[in-house]
Amino acid sequence: MNLVKQYCSRVSDEDLAVLVDLLPQKVAFDRSSACAILQKDKEVDRWLSQAAGAEDWFIKVDGIGDQAILEMENLYWNGFYSRMSLFPSAKT
């Protein structure tokens, strides 16, 4: 999970917002769009390719989605919200 935490802390603001939006939905099109983002990071792409099977792969992707949400919440509640501009309805 350390790799997932590191990834979510270094991914671009835009990509983090897309992951937070798409991964919790668990819809095939959303997951494929999210995977296009995930594969841009060679470490994450390699880690996902090592999944033992489909179920393991989905567990890993769900873990990334969960961590992305935590990262977004952490940034919001700690006031580091340059990423907040992506969510104009949220209050700063």
pTM of the model: 0.74
Residue 28 in 3-state DSSP? helix
Mean pLDDT, range 9-21, rounded to an integer: 89
State residue 90's pLDDT score.
Answer: 47
Beta-carbon count within 10 A of 64 CB: 25
Helices (H), the chain: 2-10, 13-22, 28-38, 42-49, 54-77
Beta-carbon count within 10 A of 22 CB: 20
pLDDT digits (tens, 9 = 90+) for 36-51: 999 999 999 999 999 9
42, 49, 56, 67: CA torsion to nearest 10: 10
